[in-house]
């Protein structure tokens, strides 16, 4: 999933009229430029994300979702099942997943990533155009009851605040959204797989990974 950034850059010396977000904070959020850069951030920048996120309300979510396309991890999951994907739903528990698959899982899930509480939004990212015929299917992550401690920034709360507190002069001609309001920036720091479901749908094998942290 990509974060859509449309926030106008403002000079650092500009005095923000927001009480909880300074102009420097807004520029910093805008500088993230998409989820793919999060793993490249320093500890200091991640701490700043957390510090900003802690100023706002964090909702309790029963589930967070993320679509994932990774050829190696996909094939490691296939090898864990040791059978061909079929139209009949199959379930694999954590104890039966290969060590290599678990390694790739931890590497791909760790770090601040873009998740969503809207399952339909995550579904749209399951089959990127360039993955058709290459990866053969999709991996759908379902994070069960994520801890608020693992939520870095609850985007909806932050955007709602910006909308309520930004004067019309700052909104005029500028879309004030630095991300989609269905996004949650989160880091499942102790993520473990509880189970994997898979089923053949047409020419594709859909993998659904349930995780907890």
Indicate whether 53 and 123 sit together in one domain.
no
pLDDT given at position 9: 38
Instruction: Quote the CA–CA distance of 120 and 13 in Å, as a whole number.
Output: 41
pLDDT in tens, 178-210: 678 899 999 998 889 999 999 988 777 889 999
Q: Nearest to residue 162, comparing CAs of 154, 153, 171?
A: 171
Indicate whether 194 and 170 sit together in one domain.
no
Indicate whether 94 and 111 sit together in one domain.
yes
Q: How many domains are there within the chain?
A: 2
Indicate whether 136 and 193 sit together in one domain.
yes
User: What average pLDDT does range 11-27 have in this prediction?
Assistant: 62
pLDDT given at position 163: 76
pLDDT in tens, 67-116: 988 888 988 998 999 888 899 999 999 889 999 999 999 988 988 888 99
Q: Where are the beta strands (DSSP E) in the chain?
A: 63-68, 90-93, 113-116, 137-144, 151-154, 183-186, 192-201, 204-212
Indicate whether 116 and 25 sit together in one domain.
no
Q: Are 113 and 40 in contact (CB under 8 A)?
A: no
127 pLDDT band, cuts 50/70/90, is low
Indicate whether 55 and 69 sit together in one domain.
no
Instruction: Quote the CA–CA distance of 110 and 89 in Å, as a whole number.
Output: 28
Q: Nearest to residue 80, comparing CAs of 212, 193, 202?
A: 193
- Judged by DSSP in three states, 163 sits in helix
Domain range for 55 is 1-59+153-179
Indicate whether 132 and 75 sit together in one domain.
yes
Lookup result for tokens 């693992």: 150
Residue 92 bridge partners (DSSP):
196
- Would you say residue 12 has pLDDT above 90? no
Instruction: Quote the CA–CA distance of 83 and 173 in Å, as a whole number.
Output: 56
Q: Nearest to residue 131, comparing CAs of 77, 70, 76?
A: 70
Indicate whether 78 and 174 sit together in one domain.
no
Instruction: Quote the CA–CA distance of 176 and 170 in Å, as a whole number.
Output: 9
Distance of CA 194 to the CA centre of its chain: 19
Indicate whether 126 and 197 sit together in one domain.
yes
């Amino acid at each position: 999933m990509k974060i859509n950034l449309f926030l106008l850059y403002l000079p650092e010396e500009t005095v923000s009229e927001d009480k909880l977000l300074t102009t420097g904070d807004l520029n910093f959020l805008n500088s993230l430029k998409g989820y793919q850069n999060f793993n490249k951030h320093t500890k200091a920048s991640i701490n700043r994300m957390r510090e900003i996120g802690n100023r706002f309300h964090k909702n309790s979510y029963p589930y967070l979702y993320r679509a994932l396309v990774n050829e190696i991890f996909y094939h490691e999951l296939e090898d864990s099942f040791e059978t061909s994907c079929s139209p009949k739903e199959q379930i694999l528990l954590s104890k039966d997943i290969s060590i290599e698959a678990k390694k790739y899982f931890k590497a791909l899930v760790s770090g601040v990533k873009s998740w969503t509480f809207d399952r339909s939004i995550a579904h749209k990212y399951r089959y990127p155009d360039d993955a058709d015929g290459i990866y053969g299917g999709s991996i759908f992550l379902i994070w069960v009851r994520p801890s608020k401690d693992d939520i870095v920034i609850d985007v909806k709360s932050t955007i709602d605040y910006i909308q309520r507190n930004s004067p019309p002069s700052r909104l005029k001609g500028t879309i004030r959204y630095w991300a989609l309001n269905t996004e949650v920036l989160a880091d499942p720091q102790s993520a473990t797989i509880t189970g994997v479901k898979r089923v053949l749908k047409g020419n594709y094998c859909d993998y659904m990974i349930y995780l907890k942290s």
